Amino acid sequence: MACKTASYVLVALCLLGLAAKDAAEATQLVPAVFVFGDSTVDVGNNNYLNSTKQARANYPKHGVDFTGSTPTGRFSNGFNLADQLAQLLGFPMSPPAYLSLTAKTIVSQMYQGINFASGGSGLADKTGLLGAGEVIPMSLQVQYFSKVVAMMQKLSGSKRTKTLLSKSVFLISTGSNDLFEYSLSGGDGDDGEFLLGFVAAYRSYVRALYRLGARKFSVVSITPLGCTPSQRARRLSEGGTRGCYGPINTLSLRTYSMLAASLRDLADELPGMAYSLSDSFAMVSFIFANPRTNAWSNQTATNTRFTELESGCCGSGPFGALGCDETAPLCDNRDDHLFWDANHPTQAASAIAAQTLFAGNRTFVSPINVRELALL
């Protein structure tokens, strides 16, 4: 599987205008990576919570392509976005889940980074509680990080802590669950008010992390959520037609420009703040329009393609949207699928996303990419 996934990285380099020399870095570019968000970047925090079945990724099929085919709490067949971006920054994979660390192991790990993300969580404290049970909302993730910062300051002093945090990358991938729940509730008739609150919450957490010492932010915007298997199944169920679910796609698209404007304002206001924002809606839309290509590397042509853009690899029912658990069917070749399950990308799709965040051009990431952010 590793070779097949690498081929998708080559597709990303070819399709998204990346330079081959940026495909990998031999050295660690930053001292640490700290991860915040939802199931797109969770590496096992939910395994330690009283979460519902659908909010955990600890079933045999999860991690089928991970080392040892072991489920690790990642909502993927292998590495997720946090892992693959960390690898491009010079780390073996994402830092470990905060709740997996003991009083002893956290002392050494915190200087290299920690992952606070929680599947099902969102910007609002209430997001995820109904469907996922116990989650770690962004407010609590930031609180956990503040405890880590206090520990670092106690052990290493404020100056060393400030220097390390200012050079580290803070990856944030959240907000999708807030949109899912708002859409499923039918909204309140004023999408504009909801979106203003959404962006205000996002801005407040960036500010909070900045106050704690963060300076370099890699922000992952919202993808076309209406094109996930779960929302395709929703459209089929509600309207009897196939295709992406339009209303939530419209919401997803609108968040990007508002978030981009908010981050620009923050960067102007907060001394030393820098950020890299992905246009994830454009990225995924590009893949839908260009699922096949020929990529060249070291004078070798590799034909790669996604042959399944609608259904999840692991799951039953229409579009494989009924859940990836012990009884769910599993596709034979995960690298052919854009989606792993009802809502999450495969390892192959995450590889393209990570490469784009890391070394993409201004079409998909702005004002700089993560490699440029790390080198500031």
SS (H, E, C) 172-192: EECCHHHHHHHHHCCCCCCHH
Q: Which two three-digit tokens encode residue 55?
A: 């909010």
pLDDT for residue 296? 31
Find out whether the peptide bond into 367 is cis, omega within 30 degrees of 0.
yes
Distance CA 345, CA 361 (A): 22
**Sign for the pseudo-dihedral over CA of 53, 121, 279, 360:** negative
pLDDT tens-digit map of 92-122: 999 999 999 999 999 999 999 999 999 999 9
- The H helix count followed by the E strand count for the chain is 13, 9
Q: Which residue has the tokens 């965040």?
A: 357
pLDDT lower than 50: segments of the chain = 1-25, 294-303
pLDDT for residue 209? 98
Q: Which of 83, 279, 335, 341 is catalytic?
A: 341
Residue 317, CA distances (Å) to 131, 192, 320, 330 in order? 19, 34, 5, 12
Q: Is 17 left (phi over 0), alpha (psi -120 to 50) or beta?
A: left
- What angle, 0 to 180 degrees and rounded to 10, lies between the N-to-C axes of helices 246-269 and 191-211? 40
pLDDT for residue 131? 86
Three-class SS state of 274:
strand
- How many independent structural domains does the chain possess? 1
pLDDT for residue 321? 95
Residues 6+ positions from 328 with CB-CB distance below 8 Å: 61, 314, 315, 316, 320, 322
* CATH number of the domain within which 269 lies: 3.40.50.1110
How do strand 337-339 and strand 308-312 relate by DSSP bridges?
Answer: parallel
pLDDT for residue 272? 98
Distance CA 264, CA 258 (A): 10
CB atoms within 10 A of CB 3: 8
pLDDT for residue 297? 30
Helices (H), the chain: 2-15, 81-88, 105-109, 129-132, 138-156, 158-167, 176-184, 191-211, 229-239, 246-269, 280-289, 347-359, 370-375
Closest CA to 32 of 81, 83, 91: 91
pLDDT for residue 12? 45
pLDDT for residue 2? 38
Helices (H), 71-133: 81-88, 105-109, 129-132
Closest CA to 85 of 352, 306, 273: 352
Q: Which of 83, 94, 344, 350 is catalytic?
A: 344
Is 337 annotated in the active site?
no
Q: Are 248 and 226 in contact (CB under 8 A)?
A: yes
Q: Are 66 and 73 in contact (CB under 8 A)?
A: no
Q: Is 166 left (phi over 0), alpha (psi -120 to 50) or beta?
A: alpha
Is 62 annotated in the active site?
no
- Determine the structural domain holding residue 224 and report its residue range: 2-375
Type of residue found at 96: P
Q: Which of 38, 39, 65, 336 is catalytic?
A: 39
